[in-house]
Protein backbone atom coordinates (compact mmCIF):
# COMPACT_ATOMS: atom_id res chain seq x y z
CA UNK A 1 0.00 0.00 0.00
CA UNK A 2 1.34 3.42 -0.92
CA UNK A 3 2.10 5.82 1.89
CA UNK A 4 -0.59 8.45 2.24
CA UNK A 5 0.93 11.92 2.09
CA UNK A 6 0.44 14.46 4.83
CA UNK A 7 -2.15 16.66 3.18
CA UNK A 8 -4.07 13.70 1.78
CA UNK A 9 -4.34 12.21 5.26
CA UNK A 10 -5.60 15.52 6.59
CA UNK A 11 -8.24 15.64 3.86
CA UNK A 12 -9.44 12.11 4.56
CA UNK A 13 -9.49 12.93 8.26
CA UNK A 14 -11.75 15.92 7.61
CA UNK A 15 -14.22 13.65 5.84
CA UNK A 16 -14.16 10.74 8.26
CA UNK A 17 -13.44 12.20 11.68
CA UNK A 18 -16.16 13.34 14.04
CA UNK A 19 -15.84 15.85 16.85
CA UNK A 20 -18.61 16.98 19.15
CA UNK A 21 -19.03 20.64 20.10
CA UNK A 22 -17.16 20.19 23.37
CA UNK A 23 -14.02 18.84 21.67
CA UNK A 24 -12.68 15.35 21.04
CA UNK A 25 -14.40 12.55 22.96
CA UNK A 26 -12.42 9.58 24.25
CA UNK A 27 -14.27 6.51 23.03
CA UNK A 28 -13.31 2.83 22.93
CA UNK A 29 -12.63 1.22 19.57
CA UNK A 30 -15.57 -1.14 19.12
CA UNK A 31 -15.85 -1.48 15.35
CA UNK A 32 -13.62 -1.53 12.31
CA UNK A 33 -14.81 1.99 11.45
CA UNK A 34 -13.78 3.09 14.94
CA UNK A 35 -10.31 1.63 14.45
CA UNK A 36 -9.83 3.10 10.97
CA UNK A 37 -11.09 6.51 12.13
CA UNK A 38 -8.73 6.48 15.08
CA UNK A 39 -5.81 5.26 12.95
CA UNK A 40 -6.32 8.08 10.43
CA UNK A 41 -6.55 10.62 13.24
CA UNK A 42 -3.45 9.27 14.94
CA UNK A 43 -1.50 9.26 11.66
CA UNK A 44 -2.66 12.80 10.89
CA UNK A 45 -1.64 14.02 14.33
CA UNK A 46 1.78 12.43 14.00
CA UNK A 47 2.29 14.00 10.58
CA UNK A 48 1.23 17.40 11.88
CA UNK A 49 3.65 17.12 14.80
CA UNK A 50 6.45 16.24 12.38
CA UNK A 51 5.69 18.61 9.49
CA UNK A 52 3.72 21.45 11.03
CA UNK A 53 4.74 21.82 14.65
CA UNK A 54 3.39 25.41 14.69
CA UNK A 55 -0.17 24.18 14.22
CA UNK A 56 -2.80 25.51 16.59
CA UNK A 57 -4.57 22.28 17.58
CA UNK A 58 -7.77 24.01 18.68
CA UNK A 59 -8.10 25.84 15.36
CA UNK A 60 -7.21 22.64 13.50
CA UNK A 61 -10.09 20.86 15.26
CA UNK A 62 -12.32 23.85 14.46
CA UNK A 63 -11.48 23.49 10.78
CA UNK A 64 -11.97 19.72 11.00
CA UNK A 65 -15.42 20.21 12.47
CA UNK A 66 -16.31 22.81 9.82
CA UNK A 67 -15.28 20.40 7.10
CA UNK A 68 -17.39 17.59 8.54
CA UNK A 69 -20.44 19.71 9.33
CA UNK A 70 -20.14 22.21 6.44
CA UNK A 71 -20.83 25.00 8.93
CA UNK A 72 -18.96 28.07 10.15
CA UNK A 73 -16.49 27.81 7.26
CA UNK A 74 -13.97 30.68 7.47
CA UNK A 75 -12.02 30.02 4.24
CA UNK A 76 -13.77 29.51 0.94
CA UNK A 77 -13.34 26.03 -0.48
CA UNK A 78 -11.58 27.13 -3.67
CA UNK A 79 -8.96 28.96 -1.59
CA UNK A 80 -8.09 26.17 0.85
CA UNK A 81 -5.37 24.56 -1.26
CA UNK A 82 -3.87 27.97 -2.05
CA UNK A 83 -3.60 28.87 1.64
CA UNK A 84 -1.90 25.56 2.43
CA UNK A 85 0.44 25.64 -0.57
CA UNK A 86 1.53 29.24 -0.03
CA UNK A 87 2.34 28.59 3.62
CA UNK A 88 4.43 25.49 2.97
CA UNK A 89 6.17 27.15 0.01
CA UNK A 90 7.24 30.06 2.23
CA UNK A 91 8.21 27.65 5.00
CA UNK A 92 10.33 25.60 2.62
CA UNK A 93 12.05 28.73 1.33
CA UNK A 94 12.72 29.96 4.86
CA UNK A 95 14.13 26.55 5.85
CA UNK A 96 16.41 26.54 2.79
CA UNK A 97 17.64 30.05 3.54
CA UNK A 98 18.35 29.07 7.13
CA UNK A 99 20.28 25.97 6.02
CA UNK A 100 22.21 28.05 3.47
CA UNK A 101 23.10 30.62 6.14
CA UNK A 102 24.26 27.89 8.53
CA UNK A 103 26.34 26.28 5.80
CA UNK A 104 27.86 29.64 4.87
CA UNK A 105 28.79 30.33 8.49
CA UNK A 106 30.59 26.99 8.75
CA UNK A 107 32.46 27.59 5.50
CA UNK A 108 33.49 31.08 6.61
CA UNK A 109 34.94 29.60 9.79
CA UNK A 110 36.65 26.72 7.97
CA UNK A 111 38.05 28.76 5.07
CA UNK A 112 38.64 32.11 6.75
CA UNK A 113 42.39 31.95 6.05
CA UNK A 114 41.66 31.40 2.38
CA UNK A 115 39.32 34.40 2.29
CA UNK A 116 41.83 36.65 4.04
CA UNK A 117 44.63 35.53 1.73
CA UNK A 118 42.58 36.51 -1.31
CA UNK A 119 41.73 39.91 0.17
CA UNK A 120 45.38 40.60 1.01
CA UNK A 121 46.50 39.52 -2.46
CA UNK A 122 44.05 41.86 -4.18
CA UNK A 123 44.91 44.74 -1.84
CA UNK A 124 48.58 44.46 -2.75
CA UNK A 125 47.90 43.75 -6.40
CA UNK A 126 45.82 46.87 -7.06
CA UNK A 127 48.85 49.07 -6.32
CA UNK A 128 50.98 47.39 -9.00
CA UNK A 129 51.80 49.14 -12.24
CA UNK A 130 49.22 48.70 -14.97
CA UNK A 131 46.51 47.27 -12.74
CA UNK A 132 43.10 48.91 -13.12
CA UNK A 133 40.25 48.40 -10.66
CA UNK A 134 36.54 48.76 -11.45
CA UNK A 135 33.82 49.91 -9.05
CA UNK A 136 32.89 46.27 -8.34
CA UNK A 137 36.43 45.38 -7.26
CA UNK A 138 37.42 43.56 -10.46
CA UNK A 139 41.09 44.14 -11.28
CA UNK A 140 42.65 43.78 -14.71
CA UNK A 141 45.74 44.41 -16.81
CA UNK A 142 45.61 45.02 -20.56
CA UNK A 143 48.15 42.64 -22.08
CA UNK A 144 47.05 43.39 -25.65
CA UNK A 145 44.42 45.85 -26.83
CA UNK A 146 42.35 44.76 -29.81
CA UNK A 147 40.51 47.01 -32.24
CA UNK A 148 37.26 45.05 -32.69
CA UNK A 149 33.84 45.66 -31.18
CA UNK A 150 33.08 44.95 -27.53
CA UNK A 151 30.60 42.21 -26.63
CA UNK A 152 27.39 42.87 -24.73
CA UNK A 153 26.01 40.79 -21.85
CA UNK A 154 23.79 38.86 -24.28
CA UNK A 155 26.62 38.19 -26.77
CA UNK A 156 28.11 34.79 -27.44
CA UNK A 157 31.88 34.85 -27.53
CA UNK A 158 34.81 32.62 -28.43
CA UNK A 159 37.76 32.90 -26.05
CA UNK A 160 41.00 31.31 -25.00
CA UNK A 161 41.70 31.45 -21.27
CA UNK A 162 44.08 30.23 -18.60
CA UNK A 163 42.84 30.16 -15.00
CA UNK A 164 44.83 29.88 -11.77
CA UNK A 165 44.40 30.59 -8.09
CA UNK A 166 46.51 33.32 -6.46
CA UNK A 167 49.31 30.80 -5.85
CA UNK A 168 49.56 30.02 -9.56
CA UNK A 169 47.92 26.58 -9.44
CA UNK A 170 46.08 25.94 -12.71
CA UNK A 171 42.47 24.81 -12.32
CA UNK A 172 41.22 25.24 -15.90
CA UNK A 173 42.75 26.22 -19.23
CA UNK A 174 41.41 26.17 -22.76
CA UNK A 175 44.95 27.07 -23.80
CA UNK A 176 46.30 23.82 -22.34
CA UNK A 177 43.47 21.90 -24.02
CA UNK A 178 44.22 23.59 -27.33
CA UNK A 179 40.55 24.38 -28.01
CA UNK A 180 38.85 27.76 -27.52
CA UNK A 181 35.61 27.90 -25.58
CA UNK A 182 32.30 29.47 -26.59
CA UNK A 183 29.64 30.74 -24.21
CA UNK A 184 27.27 33.63 -23.56
CA UNK A 185 28.76 36.54 -21.63
CA UNK A 186 25.90 36.61 -19.10
CA UNK A 187 26.14 32.89 -18.33
CA UNK A 188 29.53 32.89 -16.57
CA UNK A 189 30.79 34.24 -13.26
CA UNK A 190 30.22 37.94 -12.55
CA UNK A 191 33.88 38.84 -12.95
CA UNK A 192 33.92 37.38 -16.46
CA UNK A 193 30.62 38.99 -17.41
CA UNK A 194 31.95 42.41 -16.43
CA UNK A 195 35.46 41.90 -17.73
CA UNK A 196 34.56 40.59 -21.17
CA UNK A 197 32.45 43.68 -21.86
CA UNK A 198 35.58 45.82 -21.37
CA UNK A 199 37.46 43.95 -24.11
CA UNK A 200 37.44 44.79 -27.81
CA UNK A 201 37.72 41.68 -30.00
CA UNK A 202 41.39 40.79 -30.46
CA UNK A 203 42.30 41.84 -26.92
CA UNK A 204 44.06 39.85 -24.24
CA UNK A 205 43.48 40.88 -20.62
CA UNK A 206 44.55 39.49 -17.29
CA UNK A 207 41.77 39.50 -14.68
CA UNK A 208 42.14 39.33 -10.92
CA UNK A 209 38.70 38.36 -9.65
CA UNK A 210 37.57 38.71 -6.01
CA UNK A 211 35.76 35.70 -4.57
CA UNK A 212 32.44 37.58 -4.46
CA UNK A 213 32.64 38.02 -8.24
CA UNK A 214 33.57 34.39 -8.85
CA UNK A 215 32.28 31.33 -6.97
CA UNK A 216 32.22 32.72 -3.43
CA UNK A 217 31.61 30.11 -0.75
CA UNK A 218 30.14 27.54 -3.11
CA UNK A 219 32.43 26.46 -5.96
CA UNK A 220 31.79 23.21 -7.79
CA UNK A 221 32.21 20.32 -5.36
CA UNK A 222 35.28 18.20 -5.97
CA UNK A 223 36.98 20.82 -8.13
CA UNK A 224 40.29 22.59 -7.59
CA UNK A 225 38.66 25.89 -6.67
CA UNK A 226 38.19 26.22 -2.91
CA UNK A 227 35.59 28.33 -1.09
CA UNK A 228 36.41 32.06 -1.17
CA UNK A 229 39.19 31.66 -3.72
CA UNK A 230 40.22 34.81 -5.55
CA UNK A 231 40.96 33.80 -9.14
CA UNK A 232 43.34 34.92 -11.87
CA UNK A 233 42.56 34.56 -15.58
CA UNK A 234 44.38 35.45 -18.76
CA UNK A 235 41.64 35.86 -21.37
CA UNK A 236 41.94 36.35 -25.10
CA UNK A 237 38.74 37.48 -26.84
CA UNK A 238 38.91 35.82 -30.26
CA UNK A 239 35.53 36.77 -31.69
CA UNK A 240 31.89 37.56 -31.04
CA UNK A 241 29.97 34.60 -32.41
CA UNK A 242 27.13 35.73 -34.68
Q: How many CB atoms lie within 10 A of CB 224?
A: 14
Out of 6, 121, 207, 215, pick the active-site residue.
Answer: 215
> What is the share, in percent, of the chain residues with pLDDT greater than 70?
90
Distances (CA, A) of 183 to 47, 144, 209, 218: 47, 22, 19, 21
Which parts of 87-180 are beta strand (E)? 132-133, 139-144, 156-165, 170-173
| pLDDT tens, position by position, 79-132 | 888 988 998 899 899 999 999 999 999 999 999 999 999 999 999 999 999 999
Out of 4, 172, 183, 184, pick the active-site residue.
Answer: 172
Out of 161, 205, 207, 208, pick the active-site residue.
Answer: 161
Residue 138's contacts (CB-CB under 8 Å, 6 or more residues apart) are 191, 194, 195, 207, 208, 209, 210, 213
Out of 38, 52, 171, 184, pick the active-site residue.
Answer: 171
Q: Is the pTM of this model over 0.75?
A: no
Give the confidence band of 51 by pLDDT, cuts at 50, 70, 90.
confident
Out of 121, 207, 228, 233, pick the active-site residue.
Answer: 233
pLDDT of residue 235: 98
Out of 166, 189, 225, 240, pick the active-site residue.
Answer: 189
Q: Is 44 exposed, middle or buried (0-12, 13-18, 19+ CB in 10 A)?
A: buried
pLDDT of residue 242: 85
In degrees, rounded to 5, the angle at the alpha carbon of residue 114 between the alpha carbons of residues 110 and 119 is: 130
To the query of whether residue 207 is one of the catalytic residues in this protein, the response is no
To the query of whether residue 58 is one of the catalytic residues in this protein, the response is no
- DSSP code, position 187: G
Name 132's bridge partners.
140
Helix-helix angle 112-125:80-110, to 10 degrees: 70
Level-2 CATH architecture, domain 114-241: Roll (3.10)
Give the rounded distance of the alpha carbon of 21 from its chain centre: 47
pLDDT of residue 20: 43
Give the confidence band of 194 by pLDDT, cuts at 50, 70, 90.
very high
Question: What residue segments make up the domains of the chain, in order of their start?
Answer: 6-74, 114-241
| pLDDT tens, position by position, 19-30 | 444 445 678 889
To the query of whether residue 172 is one of the catalytic residues in this protein, the response is yes
Q: Which of the pair, 53 or 237, is modelled with greater confidence?
A: 237
To the query of whether residue 233 is one of the catalytic residues in this protein, the response is yes
Residue 3 scores a pLDDT above 80:
no
To the query of whether residue 52 is one of the catalytic residues in this protein, the response is no
Residue 171's contacts (CB-CB under 8 Å, 6 or more residues apart) are 163, 164, 165, 223, 224, 225
Integer Cα distance of 194 and 209 in angstroms: 10
Q: Is 72 left (phi over 0), alpha (psi -120 to 50) or beta?
A: left
Q: Which of the pair, 209 or 37, is modelled with greater confidence?
A: 209
pLDDT of residue 24: 52
- The mean per-residue pLDDT over the stretch 125-151 comes to 97
Give the confidence band of 14 by pLDDT, cuts at 50, 70, 90.
very low
To the query of whether residue 95 is one of the catalytic residues in this protein, the response is no
Give the confidence band of 195 by pLDDT, cuts at 50, 70, 90.
very high
Integer Cα distance of 238 and 240 in angstroms: 7
Amino acid sequence: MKTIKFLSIALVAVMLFSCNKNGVTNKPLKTEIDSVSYAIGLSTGTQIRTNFSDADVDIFIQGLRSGVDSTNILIEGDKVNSVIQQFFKKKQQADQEKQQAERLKKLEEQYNDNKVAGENFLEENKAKEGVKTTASGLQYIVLKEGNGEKPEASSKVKVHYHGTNINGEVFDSSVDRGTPSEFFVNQVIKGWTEGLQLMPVGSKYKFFIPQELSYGAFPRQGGKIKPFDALVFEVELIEIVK
